Copies of this chain bind each other. A is one copy, B any other.
Amino acid sequence: MPTVNARGNENQHVPVTAVIPPGIITPEVMIDVDVLDRNIARMASATLARGLRLRPHAKTHKVLEIAERQLAAGAVGLTVATIGEAEVFAKAGVRDIFIAYPLWVTAPRAERLRTLAESSSITVGVDSAESASFMGQNLGAAAGRISVLVELDSGHHRSGVHPDDAPAVARAAADVGLDVAGVFTFPGHSYAPGMPLAAVRQEDEALRRGADGLAAAGFPARTISGGSTPTALLEGETAATELRPGVYVFGDAQQLELGRCGTGDIALTVASTVVSHHRTEPGEPGRFIIDAGSKVLGSDRPAWASGYGRLLDHPDARITALSEHHATVEWPRGLPLPGRGDVLRVIPNHVCLTMNLVDEVAVVHQGAPAGRWTVAARGRNS
């Protein structure tokens, strides 16, 4: 049973497998920097080998030190979701940022975009002629310093236009002086069992059709941007010129259950203490409570998921219920329960939510503490 007894100070001396470094006060987000670096290198070389640019989505980690590693490994810039995130990374010296969101650019937002464009190359998503015109109007003379990518709906049915409607949006953007750089899409429907292959085909079809339409309307696409973690490592022909995966840096229980990563690729876990045992009837599976709840794991739980996350060292355990500070773990029948005070490593379902819940993370290098990183863009929702 590869758990660690963390009763008081004893855990500095008796770990069976040294997975929990000393000094961790649970619940605590831990980043295994060795796995992180391997994930960053693998995605960088895979996209390079396909001749694609890599623009990782930094909303996943929100950490300057991780962005630096991605850029050092060859990423052309970063993707973010909000102006606030762009501000954090631009201030830290990132010079090429795509805000992959159909912003409604009011006067105060226009002012912030103008300031960002003074230091960095800024691209913004747009998915209607109306929002393009409104953005241009509020940006005024600065419109020419902001590039836009027209967002396409490739089957996720969230934001984005039908590819056939992309030229009209591009025309409205150009009319107000914005630089039309191309198209982008997010194949979010790839986050389901069996979907990555279908989603990547739909993504490719939408990008190709959108880019062709733009070219025919006089806006040849410099950038054709796609990609999510489930689809980014799939091979084959693509219309895309760049990919924007985010979750690949850490992996999570969703990716694991979709078969898009293995347990050896999991770089982020939440150290959690067993605090309570359930009284169960003979023959029932064992159940206990750990001190990681929705306020550190996040409560995303797709219908196809096995539960509210997984335990890295106990693949047969299931997390069957989640409150703010409690997770209920169902343990395989017949196996002895971990003791109260034992520390387990939880893989959250969705790491983007986990990172947005904590101000700092503990960095682990070869099983030993290696400092702390600040989640610099945490909570920058606007």
Contact = CB atoms under 8 A, between A and B. Distances in A.
Interface stretch (A203-211, A232-240, A272-280): A272-280
B357 A158 contact: no
A381 interface: yes
Interface of A: 6-9, 25-28, 59, 81-82, 101-104, 106-109, 127-128, 130-131, 134, 138, 157-162, 165, 188, 273-279, 289, 291, 294-296, 298-301, 321, 323-326, 328, 340-341, 352-353, 356-359, 379, 381-382
Q: Which secondary structure dominates where chain A touches chain B?
A: loop
A379 B359 contact: yes
Contact of A102 (B6, B101, B276, B381): B276
Nearest to A327: B158
21 contacts: A6-B106, A7-B106, A25-B109, A25-B382, A59-B324, A59-B325, A81-B324, A82-B325, A101-B291, A104-B274, A104-B291, A104-B340, A131-B276, A131-B340, A158-B276, A158-B323, A158-B328, A159-B276, A295-B352, A295-B381, A325-B381
Most B-side CB within 10 Å, residue of A128, A157, A277, A382 = A382
A120 B321 CA distance: 33
A134 B323 CA distance: 25
Contact of A27 (B28, B134, B382): B382
